[in-house]
Amino acid sequence: LKIIKNLESARTGPVILFRIIEMSRPEKVWLKSITDKGSVVSLTGYAENDEDMAEFMRRLAKFPQIKSVELDVAKRALEKETKTDVVNFVLKLVR
């Protein structure tokens, strides 16, 4: 019975995670990649400003499936395609 529960969790886990990320993402936050390494998920992306990035972190932290949200990297850069000033970031989610 435990094996079946683990298999079901492995199958639905990514879907739930993607829903949480999409529901939490402010309009002016864009993701470049999502890397899932067991209990730690890395989100790499950029935001129009620090406030949008911080709001994304706050929203993610509200979900019970996410134990913690940590800012790994944040730095200002010029976005190549749009030529606008953005905040590149890497977030670590622990579930």
Please check the confidence at residue 82 and state whether its pLDDT lies above 90. Answer: no
Q: Which of 58, 31, 35, 69 is nearest to 47 (CA)?
A: 31
Boundaries of domain holding 42: 2-94
CA distance 83 to 85: 7
CATH value at residue 75: 3.30.1360.100
Q: What is the pLDDT of residue 2?
A: 66
Kindly report, residue by residue over 20-78, the tens digit of the pLDDT. Answer: 999 999 999 999 999 999 899 999 999 999 999 999 999 999 999 999 999 999 999 99
Number of domains in the chain: 1
Average pLDDT, stretch 10-24? 84
Q: What is the DSSP letter of 63?
A: S
Q: Which residue has the higher pLDDT, 18 or 6?
A: 18
